[in-house]
Amino acid sequence: MHIEMPYEPRKAFMPFHNRTKRWACIVAHRRAGKTVAAVNDIIRAGIMYKGPNGLFGYVAPYMNQARRIAWDYFKHYSEPITKDTNESQMTITLINGVKISLFGADNADAMRGLGFSGLYLDEYADFRPSVFGNILRPSLSDKNGWCVFSGTPKGHNAFYEVYRRAQADPSDWFLLRLPASESGLLPRSELAAAQAQLSPDQYQQEYECDFSSAVAGAFFGREMNEAENQGRITTVPHDPELGTYTAWDLGYRDDTAIWFYQVVRGEIRVIDFYAVSGANIAELAEVVMGKPYRYVKHNLPHDARAKTLASGGKSVIEQLAHHLGLANLAIVPELSVQDGIQAVRAMLPRVWFDANKCADGIEALRQYQREYDEDKKTFRQTPRHDWCSHPADAFRMLAIAWRSEPTAQRPPESRTLIVGPENEVTLNDMWAVHQQQSRRARI
């Protein structure tokens, strides 16, 4: 049987369609046509699949994005070989029984327990970093499924790490990088117009596939780059001799985020991060108390005082007090979002992050962005609400709480000088006292 498919591949994507490696990375400029190429690559893989229970997935950062960008393409290009289409679940069943389903990384739990023959992850730079490791990678194991990571650069994030891995391991990875100046897919006149209308960073990122350009509209981009360049994103061990603080953002229907940190002589050492969706107060408290930390204070947002009917008229702070103790709970002073962002910026040069335990939170701070006004073609001052919002909001609580602590910037206490066998004073201590006495004598 001869079936003609309504797709003519662009020359730039032929190496992608002809690849033989299990893992692939595509770094392509805007309007290169990578989504159309991905759709048809998945359809071809589906119709040629010979194993049992074939399932292929297309994953966008958000479910509504998958529907808006790719769903119509899938229906159009697969029409000659489609047996059934389920609009509500965005699933196409091909004539050989293989299924193609569309998902959003914002609801990654919908993919738990599934076994994929192949996955295409579109705009991977916008994914929560833990989605692949916790959910998608295990789903490929039983069928030895393949995976494609695709997108446009957005700073040194999880997609950048994939790109670096593909560069370093060509034996296992296929890599296709398509900057606009080399792809030939857009007219030179269009590139010149885009370059005139965008900032240099925007143009280099969106059209020239430059990972080193600053993330457009990022609130903490410069500060997080400095933290990385200065080696402050590293291994930060928990010090059992010190107390631990937490800072929370509480999501009632979506994510809750919690930062764990210790303070040492003006340094804020962020030792852990936890985020979860849909957990109740008892479950959150169980996670917090299950960690090997000696807590000094749990810093909660001001809306933790609000009482809800669903909780029997109790506020969040009252519910948490049952598990964590009322004396350990504090409400962070209420500031505007902009003031909180400024507090974070002022604090970040003092912050050290544990790169492993705080990976998702660090990525959220890097990608926390302003909303973009499509009409005015500029960024608003208000933050965009996405998966980065709750970790960033919790970090604002951390900054405000730290700034409000009376000991936050107190210099180390002086030590008394003593004479005798119990003396533990160093020469530096004696010199500091001498300097202090000298200053007093001059006053």
Between the alpha carbon of residue 58 and those of residues 81, 89, 118, 299, 420, the distances in Å are 18, 13, 9, 39, 75
Q: Residue 320 in contact with residue 298, Cβ under 8 Å?
A: yes
Reported as half-sphere exposure (CB side, CA atoms, 13 A), residue 318 has a value of 9
pLDDT digit string, tens, across residues 9-62: 999 999 999 999 999 999 999 999 999 999 999 999 999 999 999 999 999 999
Report the phi/psi class of residue 214: left, alpha or beta, with left for phi > 0 and alpha for psi in -120 to 50: beta
Whole-angstrom distance, CA of residue 440 vs CA of residue 443: 5
Q: What is the pTM of this model?
A: 0.65
Distance separating alpha carbons of residues 441 and 355, to the nearest angstrom:
48
Task: Note whether 393 and 307 are within 8 A (CB).
Answer: no
Cβ contact 203:191 at 8 Å: no
- What length is written for the chain? 443
The rounded mean pLDDT for the chain is 87
Comparing 407 with 125, the larger pLDDT belongs to 125
Sheet of strand 55-60, all strands in order from the earlier edge strand to the far edge: 82-86, 91-94, 99-104, 55-60, 118-121, 146-151, 23-28, 173-178
What pLDDT, in 10s, does the model give residues 216-250? 678 898 898 899 889 999 999 999 999 999 999 98
Task: Judge whether 247 and 272 are in contact, CB under 8 Å.
Answer: no
283-314: per-residue pLDDT in tens?
999 999 999 999 999 999 988 887 664 455 68
Place of tokens 């009917």: 309
Of 45, 55, 39, whose CA–CA distance to 111 is shortest? 55
pLDDT computed for residue 430 by the predictor: 52
| CA distance linking residue 98 with residue 43, whole number of Å | 10
Whether 47 contacts 99, CB under 8 Å: no
Arithmetic mean of pLDDT, 411-420: 48
Determine how many CB atoms are found less than 10 A away from the CB of residue 437.
9
